[in-house]
Every structure is written in C-alpha cells, then in structure tokens.
Structure 1
Amino acid sequence: MKTIKFIFLFVFAASLQAQEDDNVYKKKVLDQTEVKLLTSYYSQDGDNASVSGGLGSEELTDIASAIVVSIPLNEDDVLTIDANVSAYTSASSSNIDPFDGNQPADPFVASSGASRQDVWTNANVSYTHSSDDRNFIWAGNVSFANEYDYSSIGFGGSLTKLFNEKNTEIGLKANVYLDQWSPQYPIELRNGIGKSSLAKDDSKDFNLDNYTIVGNQTYNTSFSNFETLNRNSYSLGFNVSQILSQRLQTVFLADVVYQEGLLSTPHQRIYFGDIEDSFIENFQLANDVERLPDTRTKIAIGNRSSFYINENFIIRSYYRYYTDDWGINSHTAKLEVPIKIGTNFTFYPMYRFYTQTKADDFYLYNEALSTSEFYTSDYDLAAYDAHQYGLGFKYYDPLGQFNLSYLRLKSIDFEFNAYERTNLNFTANIFSLGFNFTLDK
C-alpha cells in the first residue's frame, strides 16, 4: 500500500513539475529567424491600353524582388518585416505624353518620356502574439507604399481562435488603406492648366499651337482636374477552417471592401463618340479622362479545400464569387495538384479560370458619350474570360544541408504561369523564384 502511495505521489509530483516546465520551456511559435528571398519577372502585351482610351499597346515588363524576415521575439511573439521593390517599363504609361519622343506619336508605339518607367516600393511590418495554449492569436500590421503617382499608408489587425482540439479555426481581419494621388493628366489636357493645380507637371514645353491638328481642328474640351485626390479603402475579412477528416480540410472565406474618394485613374483617356475626333500625327487627343463613382462596395465569398489522396498526391481547389455595385460579377475557379517525388521534391501543375461581366460605366474605344456622368475605357472593367496555366517545383530540405554563411536553406520554389484573356487580345507570363532560409543561432 505504501508503495502504491509512493508511486501516486511520484507521478503527481512529476505532473506538477511537467506543468511548471511547460510554463518555463514551452515550445516557441517560431524556433528560428526565417528569411525569405523572392523575385519575379512579369511581361504582358495587348491592344487595349487604357492610357490611350482603350486602343494601343499594353506592353509592360516588371521585375520585382522582396525580402521577408520573421523574427521570434520570445516563445509567443513574432515580428515580421516584408519589404518589396518593383521596377517596370510600360509602353502604355509612356503615352501619358506621346509627343516627347523622336518618332511620330502613336498609341501602339512607346514614347521615350519619363513616365515609361517607374519603381514601386512597399514595406509592411506585422506583430503576432499567440496565447500559451496556442488557441488564440492576435496580430497587428502597418504598411507604406509609394509610386510615381500615388502614396499609401495602411494599418490593420487580425484575430484567430482555434478550438475543437485545433480542428476548427475562426479568423477575423480588418485593414484600412489611406492613399493620396499625385495625378499625371494626359499631356494635351494640361494645356492652359496652372502648374499649381498639378502635383507633377512636365507640360511647360508642350503647346498645342506648335502642332498640326487633323480632323476636328477646333479641338477644345471642358476638362477639369479632380478636386479630391485621396482614396480610402476599408476591408473586413472572415474565415472558418474545418478539418473534416484525415483526408479533407476546407476553409470558407468572406470579404467586404468599401472604397471612397478618387477611384478614377487620372491619366486614362476617354474619347467621346458624339464629338469629332482630333489627331496629332497618329495619336488621338483626349476628350476627357476616366470618370467613375467616388464610392465602391465589393463583396466576395469563397472556399478553399485540400483533399489528401496519399503521401504523394494532394488535390487543392479554390472557388470565389465576387460582386460589386459597379456592375461587375465574377467567378474564379482554381485547381492545383501537388505531386511529391521522393522526400525532397514536389511538382505542382495548376489551372485557373476567371470570368466577369462588364462594369456599368464601361465603354469600348471611342463609344462613350459626352452626356454621361461616368465613363471608362479601362478593359480591366470589360466583360471577359481568362485562363491561367501554371507549373511549379519545390525543393524542400528539412535538415538544412545547404547553407549560405549563417543562412541555412529550408526550401526553394519556382513557378511559371501563362495567362490569356480569350475574348480580348491580352496575354501575360510570370516567372517567380523563392528561397526560404532559417538563420543559424
């Protein structure tokens, strides 16, 4: 009997000691600092440039790079810093001023002006805290972005709750973005506009009187620059994740976004079908710029599911329905099939289908009417179907056999995606490469 009591007391004392040890030596949310290095190359082409009113070259190339550093501050808290730089060259944006090159102005020919290229920079800092039992997580973030014609600051946060032995997860997130435009209006519309009304003005050497106008030689517009230059976006997201079985996991998603302010793009031209056209060389002069409502509400619901077939095959599916009060309704469906090859390699083909209706205020090139309140010839707001075909490879090295100084390689990802709009002459390709490292202590 004494022996049984001794064993009981020993086990009880060991249990108490284990609880104390858990409090002192509990497992970290993130064991080591992680560093991700990402780079991508994107190219596109098409015939419906919005800068030239829906007609012209959409040729664009973009090289982007990013570094993401996740730092464990203690057992419960992680600080993540995400910095991005993207440099692009665009035939379309170069034609904000199509008359600054050595060749005749033409919507299908890139001009050589400063607006043909630019750099976009972005930085995001987030802080994440997990409860002791890892069943409750909260996070906060701040961000900043800047480009030639706008700047943005953002902030937000999220809450995540896990229960049912971590088989069920509920998440809520909210973000606010406060943007400020520095508009670059089409060069011909700046004639006679005071420099003080333009955030960026390179029009001092441009004068319509120095050019021969063909067609409607009495070219005149009632154009006025935008009075409001801010754009605010507020988003709220909700998700529920459930492990339904050993083979099936599903996530239901819902997002609501409300925007207000200057939602038009100031350098996108509009041509009116009820006004005679005016040309300089091969370039049609704008009647106005895109005018869109100053509010927009977007709603999206979706599902992401993963079905485990065996240790070598997984099927991942995604579906989203989107609608907004500008008249656009869209459906997105994506299928991805990761195939594991050996212990270190995964190969994953993927396919994505997208379809949308046109916005209420979208007009084809030269079909908008001067009597309308709102109009755009941005073909991203047209009705179209799109297909995207992709192929990815992942090398995973759980033991970190390869290292670069203090960085120990964890994984390498490479992806290629080809995109096309079937009812619009638009194609794009993107190559992306990513390295994931852990930092040796």
Structure 2
Amino acid sequence: MRNLIIIILFFAFAKAYSQQDSKQVYKKRVLETTEIDFLTSYYGQDGDNAAVSGGIGTEELNDFTTTFVVSIPLNDDDVLTIDAGISAYTSASSSNVDPFDDGPADPFQASSGASAGDVWSSISGSYSHSSNDRNSIVNANLSIANEYDYFSLGFGGSYTKLFNEKNTELSISANVFLDSWTTIYPTELRPFGNGGNGLNNDLFTQNTITGNQNYTPIFNEFSDTGRNSYSVGLGFSQILTKNIQGSLSLDVIQQEGLLSTPFQRVYFADIDNSFIDHFHLAEAIEQLPDSRFKIAIGGRLNWYLNEKISLRTFYRYYFDDWGITSHTASIEVPIKLSSKFTIYPSYRFYNQTKADYFRPYETALSTETYYTSDYDLSQYSANQFGLGVSYTDIFTKTRLWNYGIKSIDLRFFQYDRNTTFSSGIITAGIKFVRD
C-alpha cells in the first residue's frame, strides 16, 4: 500500500511538472510572425471658405498618402512596430499664401507659388510587452513628423490590464507632442515685419493698390514658435454578453504655445479694404490664445447579431475652453457575404458650436484681442457616408515572395458639411504575413 501511494504521488508530481514545463515551452506568442501592412489613400476636398484668404476663396486640396506598418515579434512577449508614411499634397488654398506671383491674384484661383504643394513625412516606433498570463500590456512609443513649415516630436506610453477572465479591460495612456513652426506669413505682410520696408517693397511699387491706398495692416511676428500638447486617456471595456461588448473612454488634452496658424488672414469690419488685382490684402493674421484645454468622452457598443451581421456604434461628446462643444455619432454594419468577403456600410454625423473667437469674412473688429476666420472653428454640422469591402484569407494561400496575403481592405468615404465644404477619400490596405 505504501509503495502504491508513492507511485501515485510520483506520477501526480510528474504530470504537474510536465504541465508547468509545457506551459513554459509552448506559451502562445503575442504575435506569431512578422506582419506588414501596406496602406494608401487618395483624398480630395473643395469649398469656398479658405482660412488662408480670410474665410473666402477656394479650399481645393488633393493628397496622396502611402504608409508601411511593420510588426515584428521579438520573442514570445514583446512586439516592435515601425510605422513610416509619406504624404504629398497640392493645395489651391495654401498656394494663396503668395497669390501675387503669376498673374492676376484671386482668392478663388490657385497660385503657383512654393506653398502650392508639399510633402509630409513621419516615422514612429512602438514597443509592447505582455505579461506571461497576457493580462497586462505595457507599451511605449516615439514618433517624428516633418513638413515644410512644421516639425513634431512625440512620445508616450500606455498600460492595459485585463480582469475577469479577460472580459474586462482597463487602460491608461499618456502622450506628449513637442512641435515647432517655421513661421510663414502672407506675402503682403512680410514687408511690415522685422526689418521690412513697408509700402516701399517691390510688391507695392510694382503693383497698384486699389481701394484704401494707405495700406497699414496690424502685424507683429510671433515670438514663440513652439507648440506643446499633453494628453491623458482612460479606457474601460466590458464584454456584456456573448454577443455584446461595450467600452467607455475619456481623453484630456492640454495645448500650449503657438496655436494660431501664421499664414491665415483676417479682415476687419472697421478698416477700409485694400486690394491688388482681385485679392483683398490681409489686415491681420489669425490670433488665438496660447493655451487650449480639451475633453472628449466617448462610448462604443458592438453587437454581434448573427454570423452574418454585426452592429458597431459610437458616440462622443467634446468640449474645450475656446467655446466649442460637439457631438459625434456613428454606426457601421459589417455584413459577412462569405467566409472571405465582408462589406462595411457606415454613417457618421457630426455637429459643433463655433469657437468664441470665430469671425466670418469682414466681421472681426480690429479692437478685439483674438480672432480667426477658420471655418473649422465655426458652427456647422456634417454627414459622412462610407462603404468598404474586405477580403480575408486566414490560411494565406495567396503569396507574394515569402509573405502570404492575410487580408485586403478597400473603403470610400464621402463627407459633406452644411457649408460649401465637401471631401472624399479612398483608402486601401493589404496585410502580409511572413512564413
């Protein structure tokens, strides 16, 4: 009997040890193999309320963007992700920073100046570590972005904790962006800046000023060209039933520094107009406070109706200390057509109040401290309709070199405000998985 007990205990210990060792050896990796996402998009917009020309003029812009995202498993627990993108755009609106360089100037016509187009580039990296039980995830990130008049350095991190057999998730994140402007002012204001010669400049001696010929704008160059942004985010997600998942989020953002855009013109109601050709000469540039506090509160509810149809809903309430409040509501209905194809019809509604400092064209007063004619800060509502289709091959049978194609995604969105502004974007993405 004694020997039988010893044998039973021996095999019980051996089984427990082998199970423990098996867990150590065969622990599921966070990411099984290297994944590459290729993303590209084409965006176009138009309208008649360009901030560059003080709330009037063309808002036409076209942009083509390409991005690569590479996720690399470093070991069972750690993943390194590199995200690199480049964006090239042409803008009839921003070309009118200098509207006097090729023929009659007109806010509704594009100029061929240097600001008519540019290239934006960015690169970011993130590192994530998951605990052995996969209930804790730590993430750190670093990013750099550059444009002809803007440079941004960002860094931050997040911590995620899963509870209740992974049915409950809590997360906290924090990010910092340190940005700097290369201040570019409207052409007609530059002679009135530091070291300028005012109306003796060639722009005015070689062109005829009509209207108020005693052109004397209100203009001082910005002394601080930095902008810092600090954000903290909180998230809570809960699986409510086997078919329903809900989440809540809170984002708090503080911005400090140069929050005005240096090349956006403003025109006053109490100053007589001056023109060259058909272009109204700037009477000032946008002036906004050097701080802004924002809060956004959001919620999602995803409902799996059946094996064919799901509902994804979202709502967000936003407010800031510039006087803007907004509401965003959206719904997406993934419809599974087959084991590989899914379509994604969607709708999004947005509504906001105007900022305290927004003034339409020629309504600001020169005695005011802050003013802007940027219609992004005006009161408006907008509707966005979207349709997408995705192809998924979990077995990655289609191959390109040593990579299998895991999914292909194509989407289109049409966005319209109750102003003259409208835009459309086409996006495409392919996910590759390495053998």
Q: TM-score with structure 2 length normalisation?
A: 0.97
Shift in CA distance, 178/7, structure 1 to aligned 2, threshold 3 Å: same
Which residues in structure 2 correspond to 1:319-398 (within 5 Å)? 319-398=315-394
Which residues in structure 2 correspond to 1:277-356 (within 5 Å)? 277-356=273-352
Alpha-carbon contact 1:271-1:288 (below 8 Å) kept = yes
Aligned residue in 2 for 1:19: 20
Alpha-carbon contact 2:325-2:353 (below 8 Å) kept = yes
Q: How far apart, in 2, do the equivalents of 1:6 and 1:88 lie? A: 76
Q: Deviations over 1:387-425 (max 9, x none)?
A: 000000010000001011011100000000000002x00
**2:275 matches 1:274:** no
Q: How far apart, in 2, do the equivalents of 1:47 and 1:260 lie? A: 30
Alpha-carbon contact 1:96-1:185 (below 8 Å) kept = yes
Aligned residue in 1 for 2:413: 417
Aligned residues: 431
| Matching residue's letter, 2:432 | F
Which residues in structure 2 correspond to 1:37-436 (within 5 Å)? 37-101=38-102, 103-194=103-194, 206-422=202-418, 424-436=419-431
Alpha-carbon contact 1:352-1:388 (below 8 Å) kept = yes
| Matching residue's letter, 1:57 | T
Cα drift, residue 26 of structure 1: 1.0
Q: How far apart, in 2, do the equivalents of 1:33 and 1:4 lie? A: 50
Q: Deviations over 1:307-327 (max 9, x none)?
A: 011111100000000000000
Q: How far apart, in 1, do the equivalents of 2:95 and 2:177 lie? A: 28
| Matching residue's letter, 2:334 | P
RMSD: 1.5
Q: How far apart, in 2, do the equivalents of 1:9 and 1:313 lie? A: 53
| Matching residue's letter, 1:118 | D
Alpha-carbon contact 1:191-1:208 (below 8 Å) kept = no
State the SS of the aligned residue for 2:396.
Answer: coil
Q: How far apart, in 2, do the equivalents of 1:50 and 1:353 lie? A: 23
Alpha-carbon contact 2:193-2:219 (below 8 Å) kept = no
Q: Deviations over 1:145-194 (max 9, x none)?
A: 00011101010000000011000000000000000000110000001434
Cα drift, residue 18 of structure 1: 1.4
Give structure 2 stretches of 5+ with no counterpart.
Answer: none
| Matching residue's letter, 1:263 | L
Q: How far apart, in 2, do the equivalents of 1:165 and 1:6 lie? A: 35
Q: Deviations over 1:365-396 (max 9, x none)?
A: 11110000000000000000000000000100
Shift in CA distance, 75/269, structure 1 to aligned 2, threshold 3 Å: same
Alpha-carbon contact 1:334-1:353 (below 8 Å) kept = yes
| Matching residue's letter, 1:51 | V
Q: TM-score with structure 1 length normalisation?
A: 0.96
Percent identity between matched residues is 56
Cα drift, residue 8 of structure 1: 5.7
Q: How far apart, in 1, do the equivalents of 2:262 and 2:68 lie? A: 32
Q: How far apart, in 1, do the equivalents of 2:367 and 2:414 lie? A: 40
| Matching residue's letter, 1:343 | S
Shift in CA distance, 21/411, structure 1 to aligned 2, threshold 3 Å: same
| Matching residue's letter, 1:405 | W
Alpha-carbon contact 2:191-2:201 (below 8 Å) kept = no
